[in-house]
Amino acid sequence: MTQQRKVILRVLAGADDHPDANELYHRAYALDGSVSLSTVYRTLRLLADRGAIQRHAFEEGRARFENADREHHDHLIDIETGQVIEFHSEEIEELQARIAAERGYEIVRHKLELYVKKRGS
């Protein structure tokens, strides 16, 4: 457990949004100037592989991350402001499972993203 890793973990634990690697780098660097972007990427990959954090794609180039210690939820993305809103629908989750089961499959993971705009804008 190196100094850099500790700082990155602290930043991740304290994040309640969906920051990308560069944003996390800047937050970590502000706490400890010995953190490099490479190490941020390496740590993110490590944690994602272990399932400790989640990586999202959100149709822009970069990946965004969030802590995985929370309950499952999906995302609604305002395409005008970029704001990310979380939601959960047990009904949708069940329908998804049924659709997969009807075809002889089981769901390993899924991605549900609603790209939205304010009503009447």
Using CB under 5 A as the criterion, which residues of the chain lie in contact with Mn ion when the complex forms?
66, 86
Q: Under the criterion CB under 7 A, does residue 26 sit at the interface with DNA?
A: no
Helix (H, G, I), strand (E, B) or coil at 104: coil
Q: Which of 32, 74, 78, 113 binds Zn ion (CB under 5 A)?
A: 74
Contact in structure between 61 and 44 (CB atoms under 8 Å):
no
Nearest to 66 by CA among 7, 2, 14, 112: 14
Instruction: Tell me how many residues contact DNA (CB under 7 A).
Output: 22
Q: Under the criterion CB under 8 A, does residue 115 sit at the interface with a second copy?
A: yes
Distance CA 103, CA 21 (A): 37
Distance CA 96, CA 110 (A): 9
Judged by CB under 7 A, the chain residues 37 through 56 that form the site for DNA are 37-39, 41-45
Q: Under the criterion CB under 7 A, does residue 1 sit at the interface with DNA?
A: yes
Binding site for DNA (CB under 7 A): 1-5, 20-22, 34-39, 41-45, 61-63
